[in-house]
Structures are given as structure tokens and as C-alpha cells.
Structure 1
Amino acid sequence: MAFWWKKSPKSPSDYAKLLSEQLNKFETASTADSRRKTQDECSKYLTGTKHFMLGEVDPAPSTESLDELFGAIYHTDLLYDLLAHLTDLDFEACKDVALIFSTCLRRSKDNKLVTVDFLVARPRFIALMLRTTELALAKSNSNDLFLTVGSVVLECVKYEQLCRLILKDQQMWKFFDYARQGSFEVSTESLQILTNTFTSHHKLVSTEFFSQPVLLSRFISRLNKLIAHGNYVTKRQSIKLLYNLIMVRAYNQLLTSYINSPENLKLIMILLSDRSKNLQIGSFNVFKVFIANPRKSKQVLDILIKNREKLLQYFENFNTDSKDSTFLDEKDYVSQEIEALPRLVSSGSEPYLGSSPQKNLVN
């Protein structure tokens, strides 16, 4: 391809060097015109770098020239500078940045993920990346910018070493806030980031996150808040995430902690009463795990016993039009387990569901 810039790259390393020079000009661009000019120049160099990196130039770049380009990217700390100035770039340029990031992360040489190793040695990159998601929400094109940064986060999560750094960063917790309070696009992207972060590397999450009681408790609290106070989509995706997590064999700490909590059980039973059939089914999937627990805590058992009759009547009429044999078998099992619970001799204490501010399970 032909280059239309006033200053054209003479060597592969020039792509990184010239782009770095343009990014630094944002620091001194004091007028709208100067910023727009810097934006245009950055866009051109980003396009050129992308095409060269993907081999979309004539002649096609050799292995040696690509090595030179990537070496210059690391030497100039270009990936950090791109993130630092992402909010200064226009939309198309931001998309090119995301593509360059994903291409760099896949870079392998001598059976080593070169870029991943480079970033692991520089944890400030991950800290900046997560902080940029917050900065993006303050911009006029916040949704598009957040989704762009989010795509970079999702790429990083794929690699265990980088996922470890994300889990350790306090900024990670803000994705729970974005999921509950953000726009539809921001909420969905945030939940996807949380889902991928906690489901991509089971051993890492189990040994370095859920094994710590403080982090485990905080995680459950944040996820419950999404289930209780999110919009419909947030609730549905959050309850699905919860079920998927407690079904992971390696996450026994999460499973045990969650299904032995009476407050968690109350939340799931409230959701069983939701008007949405999808939320009812989602909460049923979690509720059946409470029921199947052979070592229920006393508090959980008390709630189930107090609500025995209401639960039996509820499940008698629950999703009766389903033809799913697996679901029907599970519903029968749950009903049998509830039927086997002791009957209350006295109704001296008010059942939880009867005093719920939500719609009762049984009208």
C-alpha cells in the first residue's frame, strides 16, 4: 500500500517510533485544531502499523521485519502510551488500537508469549487499562470507548498471568458497579468481563481468589447486589453466572459458602416469585443446589421447613408446560426433598416468604 503521510516510515521500527511521537504531542496540544491535527496523524500511523502488523502491505513483511516492529513497540512502551491516550483518539483509531493489542498479545516466539511476558513484568499496564474503563465513562462517546477498552480487557483475561493481575487490582470491583448502573451496552460488557475473569482459569481463581474469605465474601455480596437490584438483563445474566460458578468443581469454597447462607437462600426464593419466567428458571437452578445439599446449615433448614407447604404448592404449579425431561426430573426431585422435610407443628413464627416485600410464592 502507498503511504500518504508527510513523514513515511523508513523501517519497521519507524512505525512504533513515529506513532509514539504523535501520541506525545497530545501533551502540548492546547487548541482544538492542534488536537484534531494530532488525532488525524495518530489515525494514519495506527492504520499503517495495523496493516504492516497484519501483513497487508506490499511487499509482505518478513519475519525479521516483524520482529523489528514488535521490538520497537516494546522499547518505546507504545502499548502503555496507546492506553494512556486512548481517550484522545477518534473512534476508528480506538478500534485499531484494540486490534493491535489483540495481535500483540498473540505474539509468540520460541514458544513464549512475548507480549504477555512483557506486560506481566510491567503491572502498571494492567492498572492503567482497568482505570481507563472508568475514564472512558466520563467521555461523550462513553459507550463506544468503554466497549473498546473492554475488548482489550477481555483479550488480557484469556492469559492466566494477566488475569492474575486483573484479579488483584481493586479497580476490578468497579465492573460490578458498571454492570448495575451503566447503560445496556456497558452493563452487558461489564458482566462479560466478570464472567470471563472468573470462568477462564479455574485453578487460578480457586487458589488465589476464592480461597481468601474476605475476597469470597465480597464477591458474593457484589454478585447478590446485581441479582437483587439490577435490571432484568443484569439479573438474568448474574443468576446464570452464579449458577455456572457454583457448578465448577474447583470452586467448592464458593459453593459451600453460598448454599449455607440463609440470606442467600432468601434472595433466591424471592427471585423464584419474579414475574419473569426466565428469572424463575434461573433461580430454580440455584435453588435446587440448596435442596441437594446433604449438610444444610440449621438456618437454611429452618427457612425451608417454615416454607415447606408454600414451596410444595409453588412447585406443583411451576412451569407445568415444560416438556424438558431433565427439568421435569429435577423439579420432581426438589418436590420430593421438600416433601421429606419435617412438618411445622406450630406456626408461631411467620414464614419468610409470607413476609417478603415481593410477590408471595403462593397467592
Structure 2
Amino acid sequence: MEGERKMREGGREEGKVKIGSCVSTRGGAGRDHSAPSRRLSSQHLSGSLTSSATGEPSDQSDLGGAKMKGLFKSKPRTPSDLVRQTRDLFLYAHGSISLPDSKRDEKMAELSRNIRDMKSILYGNSEAEPVAEACAQLTQEFFREDTLRLLITCLPKLNLETRKDATQVVANLQRQQVNSKLIASDYLEANLDLMDVLIEGFENTDLALHYGAMFRECIRHQIVAKYVLESEHVKKFFDYIQLPNFDIAADAAATFKELLTRHKSTVAEFLTNNEDWFFADYNSKLLESSNYITRRQAIKLLGDILLDRSNSAVMTKYVSSRDNLRILMNLLRESSKSIQIEAFHVFKLFVANQKKPADIVNILVANRSKLLRLLADLKPDKEDERFEADKSQVLREIAALEPQDLA
């Protein structure tokens, strides 16, 4: 009788183990539940149900809490939640909320993770493509308040990798549409002063490339480009392009080109209203620069500007200036073939002008033999039928010119 009672109690104890344990269903059927296995399970169960200090059973509410914790996981963050939390973290980075250094480091690490998560939503990752609805939610929340302003002003406080992620996030957001509308454009129209911060960023060696990349994406919006062209900021690019740091100078040159070629009607209006000072600075600071790379980039961009149909009125005025012609003829004599070729594409506009002023004609006539000899030897590295056709036409035009009396 005593033995039967013990066996029944042992069975009840084993039942408790099976109920309270987290048992995998894989391979459960026909499993050999040996004594050591039961003892191990009992130990695990004991650790869950008893106090580590006394070994006594814990309060049943603790058991209930453990069960609830296992059954209900925290709700995943939505893209909107992510932006709101990031906005709060920017306040810590900005210093608006004071914290001990250790706590601040935790907040900055969390901020870096959040920015990386936003980048993953917008660009996707190795496991998944971006989801349009998630991108729209993130974009809408991002521009609902001043998150972009906080990001730009806090950029110096972020580490290098986070700056890169933040730059990519800002770039992507300029292209995101919500209900077929670029809401970044509306936000920037109401916050154009942010362009002041980004442009001045070119003067910060550590941040220039990040601010420059953001700025180029922002001027994709015509209202932003118009603001910059009509401000004093545009004059700064003549200096930024010649900064001693090669990477920053090249970035400034790429930005300057984007500013002067993307929005045709806005650029044409700007050049028409500002052509006198603009081309005077362009010639003296860029085309006559002592830096070879600056001259090469400047003559290529000048050709892009003048050959664009939307700038035809500006082009006609430019090729009527003897000072401009003198600069182009000097560039034709450069030792660099790349500069010579690009200079030819602008020089041919002076020759092709059917209403050439008398002083332009006389300069071409006075230098006819040198020009004909120089142009005859000018050949691109690769065969280019269009170039050869243009060159032949220019040679014929110059050969046929007659000197004219000055009025």
C-alpha cells in the first residue's frame, strides 16, 4: 500500500513538470522520459517557481506575469513611432535635455540605431525590398514637424557612420511621394533657411560632403533652387569650387553644376537677370583659375549652359563680348586636349553667330592664320564625326571672314 501511494504521488509530481515546462513538440512522440531527464526538468521548473533566495515557492502572481510575458510580446514600432522616438532622441543630442554622460551615450547609441532603421525602411535591406506604405508613413511623420531641422543641426554630434546613414535618409526622403505629392518640397518651401545651414556646411571640412549631398538632393525641388540662385549664397560657390580640399572642391563643383542645369526656366531667368556679374566672376575666378581641374570643369559647364536652348538669349549676349572671346581663344591654346576640346564647343558659338559685332569679326580675322592652324590639328581621342563636321564648318567660316569697320 505504501509503495502504491508513493507511485501515485510520483505520477502527480511528473504531471506538474509537464504542465509547467516549456516543452518542444519536435520529436515528442515516443520519447524516452528517463529519470535524469525528469530531474533536469524538475530543476528548471523549480527555478521558475521558487525564490532564488529561499527556495520557497514564489507568489502565484509572478508565475502569471511570466506566463503573460511569454504569451504577449511588445508591439512592433510603426514607421511613425520610429520617427517620433528619433525626434525625441535628437533633443538629447542637441543638448535641449541635459543628462549624465553615461545616460547620454545610451541615448546617442539608440539614436544611431533608429536612423539606421529608418534607412532600412526607405532603402530595404538584403532580406526585403522597401514597402511603399511604410515609406509613406515614415515620410509623412518626418515632415510633420521639424525632424529635418533637428537632424541637420545635430549632424555634428553624430558619429561618422550615423552621419552617412542620416545623409542617405535625407536624400531618399526628397523623392518619396505621399498621395502622389512630394511633401518634402512643401516642407522646404516653409523652411528655406535650412539651405543657409547646408551651404555654410561646405566650410566645415568634417561635414562638407554630408551637407553637400543633402543640399544637392534638396535643390531637386525648383522652389529651393530658385531661393538659392536668388540669394547671395550662389556667389560662394566660386570660392568653394577652389577649396584646397580636393573632395570638397569636387563636391562643390558637382553641386554648382546641378544648380545651373536642372531647372531650365529658373536658371534662364537667373542668368538673364544676373549675366553681367555672373559671367564676369565665372571668367575671372573659374575659366582663368590657376588650377587646371577648375578650368577644365568650368569650361565644360559653360558649354552645357550656353548650348542649352532655354539659355539662347544669354548665349547670344555672351558670344558678342570680345573679352569672352579672348578668354576662349586662350583656352584653345591650352596644353590639355580636354580643355581644348571643351573650349572649341564654346568657341564655335562665336563663329556661328550670324550677327557678330564688328570687333568680334576683326579679332577673328587678325588671328585667322593661327586659328586655322590650331583648329586643323585639334582632334579628340576618339573618332567623332559630329566634332569633325563642326570643325570643318568653323574653319570655312573663319576663312571667309572679311574685316569690318568699327562703328
TM-score between the two structures when normalised by the length of structure 2: 0.71
2:236 is equivalent to residue 167 of structure 1:
no
For 1:181, what is the secondary structure of its paired residue?
coil
Residue 77 of structure 1 corresponds to: 146
Partner of 1:42: 111
Indicate which of 166, 169, 183 corresponds to 1:114. 183
Q: Report how far residue 239 of structure 1 moved.
A: 0.7
Cα shift at 1:185? 1.4
Please state how far the C-alpha of 1:251 moved relative to its aligned partner. Answer: 0.3
> Aligned pair 1:188/2:250, yes or no?
yes
Letter in 2 for 1:220: F
Structure 1 residues 177 and 52: alpha-carbon distance in aligned structure 2, compared to 1, 3 A threshold: same
Structure 1 residues 272 and 55: CA distance shift in structure 2, 3 A: closer
Distance 1:320 1:83 in 2: 45
Structure 2 spans left out of the alignment, 5+ residues? 1-74
Q: How does 1:212-291 map to 2 (within 5 A)?
A: 212=273, 215-224=274-283, 225-291=285-351
Give the match for residue 177 of structure 1. 239
Instruction: Report how far residue 321 of structure 1 moved.
Output: 8.4
1:341 partnered with 2:401: yes
Alignment of 1:70-109 (within 5 A): 70-109=139-178
SS at match of 2:331: helix
Q: Paired residue for 2:213?
A: 151
- Quickly say closer, same or farther: Cα 1:39–1:170, change in 2 above 3 A: farther
Question: Which letter does structure 2 place at the counterpart of 1:268?
Answer: L
The whole-number CA distance in structure 2 between the counterparts of 1:39 and 1:178 is 32
- Flag the 1:146–1:38 CA change in 2: closer, same or farther, 3 A: farther
CA distance in 2 between counterparts of 1:246 and 1:23 reads: 45
| Residue 316 of structure 1: how far off its partner (Å) | 3.6
The reply on whether 1:298 has 2:374 as its aligned counterpart is no
Equivalences for residues 25-40 of structure 1 within 5 A: 25-28=92-95, 39-40=108-109
Match of 1:211 in 2: 272
Counting matched residue pairs gives: 328
* RMSD of Structure 2 on Structure 1 (CA): 3.2
Superposition deviation, residue 103 in structure 1: 2.5
Structure 1 residues 34 and 217: CA distance shift in structure 2, 3 A? farther
* Alpha-carbon displacement from aligned partner over 1:94-120 (angstroms, at most 9, x marks no partner): 111122112222221222111221221
Q: 1:10 to 1:312 in 2, by over 3 A?
A: closer
The verdict on how the C-alpha distance between 1:30 and 1:306 changes in structure 2, with shifts beyond 3 A counting, is farther
* Identity over aligned pairs, percent: 28
CA distance in 1, matches of 2:146, 2:390: 55
1:306-353 residue CA offsets vs partner (Å, 9 max, x unmatched) = 222322333343339874333222222222222122369xxxxxxxxx
* 1:51–1:57 Cα contact (<8 Å) kept: no
1:159 is aligned with what amino acid? H
Please give the alpha-carbon distance, in whole angstroms, between the structure 2 residues aligned to 1:193 and 1:63: 29
